[in-house]
Structure 1
Amino acid sequence: MAPLVPSQEELQRRRIIGINAETVTNIPSTDFPGHWPGESHGWALDQFKQNFNVEYHRNDRYEASFSLIGLDAAVANAFRRILMNEIPTLAIETVYVHDNTSVIQDEVLAQRLGLIPLTGSVEGINWMRWEQKIPGDDAPEVELTDFNTVVGQLSIECTQNFDAAKDETDARKLYHNAHVYAKHLSFGPVGRQSEFFVDDGAIRPVHPDILIAKLRPGQRIEMELHCVKGIGADHAKFSPVATASYRLLPDINILSPIIGEDAKKFAKCFPKGVIGLEPVTSQEAAKAGSGYQGHAGELKAVVKDAFNDTVSRECLRHEEFNGKVKLGRVRDHFIFNVESTGQFESDTLFLESVKVLKLKCARWKRGLSDLMA
């Protein structure tokens, strides 16, 4: 017996997660074999290729927004977690304090330095090795080489500015180097690093105006900084993204006409631009059973752009809209927002997350083969 083929309306209904006033319905995914009698829901590569799609909404250098359509939530969440935790990046790991007479303690100053995002030649950063740490006190020491460590310096001293006006109160004009910024960090390539980290590809802070410390005459800081590659799972300073999140595409279905003042009130329940107001046409007013009879020329509420809706449920609080609107979210349409900290461009980060997931699948496949051998 051939498997049953559900209608497009039924398939669309299954895709929508119901958003009610106090509950969320139709949450579990049902597209697996055996759930719907007589229907075949076995996973097939050809069918996945046909249904899967990627749409970019914004692609700036350090911020991107795109949709992954036709994907399971587990896979979408895997990309999000990989973006935050498993793409190796460069950050300050070890700080050797030679002199620090500022008011900031050594360990606090070192922690502030570690959180400064760095950038440089992507080719060079990818060329460097990620020396994965082995837990335990008896773990072997990692040999520092040009393949795994970038060395930097912070050497600065605050002095009096004798050319400042007598009535000057701004410390930045009264003294030289009163404020220590990220731009005062310097990094020198060694060994083969000179092939990558030079000119525009030199290692440097992403934001040169990050305030590190404040000094007064006689105070100085002199430190040696060792930068290594790491992942966000070890420490947040290695995370290549400031934010990596996704949301499901909102679905707004107006079940019965909302006209006149109710339409204006309905539009105010949503973010600007989500609901539009259009006049009722004479054809709609003349159509029997449309609900617009006798309302030609009046304003009606229409869904203009559900993409920007936040699904606040505000419209469900008002009795006049009871039974006239159904809110939902499309379960397999994930709208991603990725904001890079600056070491990698935003679209490159997502491609890197795909590479990491492919490596995970390859390791899992090899392990499965070993179990079956």
Structure 2
Amino acid sequence: MARNTIIPSQVVIEQRKRVGIQLETVTNVSGTDFPGNYPDEDHAWDVIKFAENFKVEFHTLAPWDASFSLIGLDASVANAFRRILIAEIPSLAIEWCFVNNNTSIIQDEVLAARLGLVPFTGNRVGLLDFLKWYKKPAEGEEKVEGTDYNTVVLDLQIECTHNKDAARNERDPLKKYNNAHVYARDIKFIPFGRQAEHFSGENAIRPTNPDILLAKLRPGQVIDIQMHAIKGVGSDHAKFSPVATASYRLLPTIDILRPILGQDAVKFKKCFPAGVIGLETVTKKEAAQKGSGYEGHEGEKKAVVFDAMKDTVSRECLRHEEFNKKGEEKVKLGRVRDHFIFSVESVGQWNSDEMFLESIRHLRTKCESLKADLADLKMKGT
């Protein structure tokens, strides 16, 4: 005998999506054994239903900085995108440093580590398509010589000298000496083979931020290093991660349960970051409406929610009794469980929005690989 299937109401569905934010606790945080599934309810996954509920909304779209919302996803999928952005999208970084001379006060190992963390940019088509993976030799094997399609050669040659034109009483080392500071812009790209076809002029490989300070020198000190850069992924080393930050947060919600008027409204606004809460004037129509809570308050200021997305959920308003008196609460804070606000900041080799699309391709490849493995397992089982 088939068991009756319960159809949850829209109110229940919305309650499940909401994480409650209290003064000292957070409620409705537990999940289910299988994401989005509840006992005695039919939650079979349907691509049409998913397409109707899923949304992507961009808030900021700049080459190196993007903010967007993924709405209608489970946390496991959103987190998969975040992990792929950090650890599985390839980028270029320095892997080997050949120190010919280093008389600065920075040890060779420390200087090499700093150079490895310098992000580089260049012709994106060349970086993605022309440059191939460098196959590292196994332990005990000799290093394989790099070629133009898998290795980028960089050079840093700089010496600090006295500035003959500086004033006798000059104390600023940048004016007193030449090359007192070594910056990322002092790293030079040396193309070989076919690299000049892909990386020349404005498309040359160069540090994303030329003003990164690498070392400080004094007269007589020299740095002479040749570096080899290759493509890698963040799961191998953080220097290959294409993002400075890739994070997400849940959409905050602010529900005003009872009218907040006058000086209380001004105080309530100050409890939130700028732009979250605004002040509006109670209209004659609102003051005349029975049960609205605005009766007799025409012309007074009232608190309204302008943009909850800007809220940092500090819970400051819950500390004040006029807003959070037990049994007479005027505000309810929460977060939406399936609304993820992503912030992606690129280090320069990828545009931020392109990286998100690339993470989708990576996840799709993983799913197709798993699907093929399951098919093989089924064939072997039969």
TM-score, normalised via structure 1 length: 0.93
Distance 1:165 1:123 in 2: 49
Mapped to 2, the partners of 1:210 and 1:51 lie a distance apart of: 44
- Partner of 1:43, secondary structure, is coil
Asked if 2 retains the 8 angstrom alpha-carbon contact of 1:119 and 1:206, the reply is yes
SS at the partner of 2:252? strand
Match of 1:28 in 2: 30
Residue number in structure 2 paired with 1:165: 167
Aligned residue number for residue 335 of structure 2: 329
Counterparts of 1:45 and 1:254, CA distance in 2: 36
- Report the Cα offset of residue 141 of structure 1: 4.0
Corresponding residue number in structure 2 for 1:80: 82
- CA drift at 1:167: 2.2
Which structure 2 residues correspond to residues 36-185 of structure 1 after superposition, within 5 A?
36-37=39-40, 39-127=41-129, 128-131=131-134, 137-138=139-140, 141-185=143-187
Superposed displacement of residue 114, structure 1: 0.8
Bigger shift: 239-248 or 189-198? 189-198
Cα displacement (A) at 1:288? 2.1
1:275 CA drift (Å): 1.3
The CA distance in 2 between the partners of 1:217 and 1:169, in whole Å, is: 14
> Could you tell me how far apart the structure 1 residues matched to 2:195 and 2:365 are?
27
- The residue identity in structure 2 corresponding to 1:247 is R
Shift of 1:165: 2.2
CA pair 140-177 structure 1, distance change in 2 beyond 3 A: closer
1:311 alignment partner AA: V
Distance apart, 1:29 and its partner CA: 4.3
Q: Distance in 2 between matches of 1:79 and 1:125?
A: 22
SS at match of 2:104: coil
CA shift at 1:36, angstroms?
4.6
Which of 346, 353, 376 is 1:347 aligned to? Answer: 353
Contact 1:55 1:67 in 2 (8 A): yes
d(CA) in 1 for partners of 2:115, 2:267: 51
Residue by residue, what CA displacement relative to the aligned partner does 1:335-373 show, whole Å, maximum 9, x if unpaired?
A: 111111112111111112112111211221122122111
Aligned partners of 2:74, 2:141: CA distance in 1, in Å? 40
What is the alpha-carbon distance in structure 2 between the residues aligned to residue 318 and residue 210 of structure 1? 46
How far apart are the structure 1 equivalents of 2:161 and 2:269? Answer: 61
Residue 207 of structure 1 is matched in structure 2 by 209
Quick one: distance in 2 between partners of 1:4 and 1:312? 38
C-alpha contact 1:84 1:244 (8 A) present in aligned 2:
yes
Equivalent position amino acid for 1:352 in 2: E
Q: Give the C-alpha shift of residue 22 in structure 1.
A: 1.6
Query: What is the rounded CA distance, in whole Å, between the counterparts of 1:365 and 1:230 in structure 2?
Result: 26
| Aligned-residue offset at 1:33 | 7.5
Question: What is the CA-CA distance between 1:15 and the residue it aligns to?
Answer: 1.4
Distance apart, 1:321 and its partner CA: 1.3
Structure 2 runs not aligned, ≥5 long: none
Q: CA deviation at 1:145?
A: 1.5
Q: Does 1:360 align with 2:366?
A: yes
Q: Structure 1 residue 94: deviation in Å?
A: 0.3
Compared with structure 1, are the counterparts of its residues 132 and 286 closer, same or farther at alpha carbon in structure 2 (3 Å cutoff)?
A: farther
What letter is aligned with 2:132? R
Is the contact made by 2:134 and 2:151 (CA closer than 8 Å) also made in structure 1?
no
| Partner in structure 2 of residue 11 of structure 1 | 13
1:191 aligns to what SS in structure 2? Answer: coil
Deviations 1:88-135 (A, max 9, x none): 11011100011111221111111111111111111111121223657x
Paired residue type of 1:200:
E
Post-superposition shift, 1:234? 1.7
Tell me the percent identity: 60
Matched residue, 1:275? 277
Is the CA contact 1:149–1:228 (under 8 Å) kept in the aligned structure 2? Answer: yes
- Shift, 1:43, TM fit: 0.9
Question: How many residue pairs align between the two structures?
Answer: 371
Moved more, 48-57 or 5-14: 5-14
Q: Matched residue of 1:265: which SS?
A: helix
Measured at CA, do residues 169 and 33 of structure 1 come closer, stay the same or move farther in structure 2, by a change above 3 Å? closer
Q: Aligned equivalents of 1:192 and 1:306: distance in 2?
A: 52
